[in-house]
Structure 1
Amino acid sequence: MAASDQIPEPEFDYEALPSNYGLGRNMLAGAFAGIAEHSVMYPVDLLKTRMQILHPSTGGLYTGLTNAVSTIYRIEGWRTLWKGVSSVIVGAGPAHAVYFGTYEIVKDLAGGNVDDGHHPLAAALSGASATIASDALMNPFDVIKQRMQVHGSVHKTLMQCAKTVYRTEGLQAFYLSYPTTLCMTVPFTATQFVAYESISKFMNPKQDYDPFTHCMAGGLAGAFAAGITTPLDVVKTLLQTRGLAESEEIRSARGLWNAASIIKKRFGWGGFLRGMRPRIISTMPSTAICWTSYEMAKAYFKEQSLD
């Protein structure tokens, strides 16, 4: 019998997991994807955070994306664009391992792997479940990251920032934005997963491993989801950086609705679109990188499990 005749058909099915694939390998693929995504696009994420701050100090005032880059380079230097990256590297690996592990488990339980058909409900449910689980782990790291990203931040390291926030604001500071984060990330992830599954099946009906398809589908899905959830991201940023604000009203923001009312009162409806361009610009390639890295690692582990 030829060697090619011994390769089982499931090797080419990227929607269903082989019986001996294992959750650990799936989570390892997710961790690899998360670290790759956040590390590569971190400077643009920093620009987004800077542009969403409601009342920045003088050196943190920007008129646009290009102005933000030139101002940071002139005043603070290029290294500032990577300030706080240690937080996402430490948090993104475990969080994305949980993210993609939950995604695959729930998708399988919801019937998303039953056949080659389109299962948008299963994709949405698995995406929502994945983000609820992973955000519980990632939210504190996200708070630390944004505290280190803002202009004039005195925080130099992950641990120093975490200790300072805990000592001055308590444990709640790390999870104050969690409900708002879920209000944003659940529809974001559900929309992204449905879009990714739909675009992937349209571009690649046979579901073969195809890096170009994974890259394009991931990028388009991420850009669409990022655009419609930007208002909630602005609210989340206010809550996560409130401890650094000079305004007492912002420092005492209590939750989603209170933060939203502050933004509306001070900037009108346009305030909810602050940072939309860098958010889309960063999310589109980051989701493309994430899905491409995930599918690449997934393909590698599947090939190993079938040997």
Structure 2
Amino acid sequence: MASEDVVGKTSDSAVTTIVNLAEEAKLAREGVKAPGHAILSICKSLVAGGVAGGVSRTAVAPLERLKILLQVQNPHNIKYNGTIQGLKYIWKTEGFRGLFKGNGTNCARIVPNSAVKFFSYEQASRGILLLYRQQPGNEDAQLTPLLRLGAGACAGIIAMSATYPMDMVRGRLTVQTEKSPYQYRGMVHALSTVLREEGPRALYKGWLPSVIGVVPYVGLNFAVYESLKDWLIKSRPFGLVEDSELSVTTRLACGAAAGTVGQTVAYPLDVIRRRMQMVGWKDAASIVTGDGRSKAQLEYSGMVDAFRKTVRHEGFGALYKGLVPNSVKVVPSIAIAFVTYEMVKDVLGVEMRISD
């Protein structure tokens, strides 16, 4: 009798296992992943995005710092006068470490920012495409450049908002030099100091121009990158593509084009964001200009006022201060980020890619 019970339980267990496997296979065919597998896939996607952000940003850290210094320096006391001269000046006055000042803080921000951005883009593009396919006549529609632009904009806003306080203090840390009166010893100290002296709202100074700027910037990055890849795969111009797998070089070129378009459109908003982030920092004038004469120029009542004062006092060209080092930085940075993301996902074995 006991042996019959054992056999019966074993048989029931086998049947249950077979049923579970069949259900999982059905879900897989329908594109629905088991909870455990879905969580693992999400984690892998976040890791890939974080690694992509850290690698790409570290590769261009000196240009990132020079860009910020050019954006906020006073026109009456020029220290940094171009990309080559600026990099040489930093090397001469602060050494090799000066070229990477603020990079640790930057990576602490960009790693989660990039992870959230890439993952948010994947989820947003799926959701937007699903809603689009529910419209009559669009049942078999694919992602268009406009839909990719919308998904990229959503991803940019989410990622920017989630990590903005770290970006704000990173901007202040980056501006500090060896000769300046140090107020911040690191990211944690900067966050606590700003909270204590300026209040929680200060951590989001410049958030509005950042969000407005991130819509075309991130949106165009994803839209141009994915659309170029899609065009190369489908049209195969000049024999560039022989199969559906693009080479690393071709993907880098697509990323470079995406970065160039996105940063050119959004750059003025980035300049205004940086300037607004300096408001309320009592040592900002001495750090940027070496004297206190320009302190009044650091006072802005809002984004529109910052635009107006910048153009009135320094001309329209001031909105593109630091554009050259930023262009040299953004092109390889975006390219490296996209390619690293896809390569890390290949290594981790993630089925879903941004181009799917």
Checking the alignment, whether the CA contact within 8 Å between 1:127 and 1:189 is kept in structure 2 is: yes
Distance 1:134 1:207 in 2: 30
Distance 2:100 2:85 in 1: 18
2:56 pairs with one of 29, 37, 42: 37
Q: Answer yes or no: is 1:203 the counterpart of 2:232.
A: yes
Checking the alignment, whether the CA contact within 8 Å between 1:88 and 1:142 is kept in structure 2 is: yes
TM-score (norm 2): 0.74
Which residue type is aligned with residue 256 of structure 2? G
Number of the residue aligned with 1:78: 96
2:309 pairs with one of 236, 239, 262: 262
Distance 1:251 1:169 in 2: 15
Can you list the C-alpha shifts for 1:231-264, whole angstroms capped at 9, x where unaligned? 1111111111232134343343122111111101
Distance 1:62 1:97 in 2: 33
Number of the residue aligned with 1:89: 107
Q: Which consecutive residues of structure 2, in runs of 5 or more, have no partner in the other structure?
A: 1-30, 134-139, 235-242, 286-291
Which residue type is aligned with residue 104 of structure 1? E
Can you list the C-alpha shifts for 1:142-195, whole angstroms capped at 9, x where unaligned? 111111111436133222222222222222221011111011111111111111
Q: How does 1:1-307 map to 2 (within 5 A)?
A: 19=33, 22-55=41-74, 61-111=79-129, 117=142, 119-150=144-175, 151=177, 152=180, 154=182, 155-205=184-234, 207-208=244-245, 210-242=247-279, 243=281, 244-245=284-285, 246=292, 247-302=294-349
Which residue type is aligned with residue 287 of structure 1? I
CA deviation after TM superposition for structure 1 residue 133, in Å:
0.8
Q: Which consecutive residues of structure 1, in runs of 5 or more, have no partner in the other structure?
A: 1-16
The alignment partner of 1:55 has SS state of coil
Distance 2:232 2:144 in 1: 16
Which residue type is aligned with residue 232 of structure 2? M
Please say which of residues 286-295 and 106-115 is displaced more in the overlay: 106-115
CA deviation after TM superposition for structure 1 residue 140, in Å:
1.2
Can you list the C-alpha shifts for 1:41-96, whole angstroms capped at 9, x where unaligned? 111100100111142795x6122111111111112212111111121222222222
CA deviation after TM superposition for structure 1 residue 213, in Å:
2.6
Number of the residue aligned with 2:16: none
Checking the alignment, whether the CA contact within 8 Å between 1:84 and 1:145 is kept in structure 2 is: yes
The alignment partner of 2:74 has SS state of coil
Larger radius of gyration: 2
Using the aligned pairs only, state the percent identity: 25
Q: 1:133 to 1:51 in 2, by over 3 A?
A: same
Checking the alignment, whether the CA contact within 8 Å between 1:29 and 1:298 is kept in structure 2 is: yes
Q: 1:223 to 1:212 in 2, by over 3 A?
A: same
How many residues end up aligned between the 2 structures? Answer: 288
Which residue type is aligned with residue 216 of structure 1? A
Distance 2:351 2:222 in 1: 26
Distance 1:259 1:102 in 2: 31
Distance 2:194 2:297 in 1: 16
Number of the residue aligned with 1:11: none
Checking the alignment, whether the CA contact within 8 Å between 2:45 and 2:350 is kept in structure 1 is: no
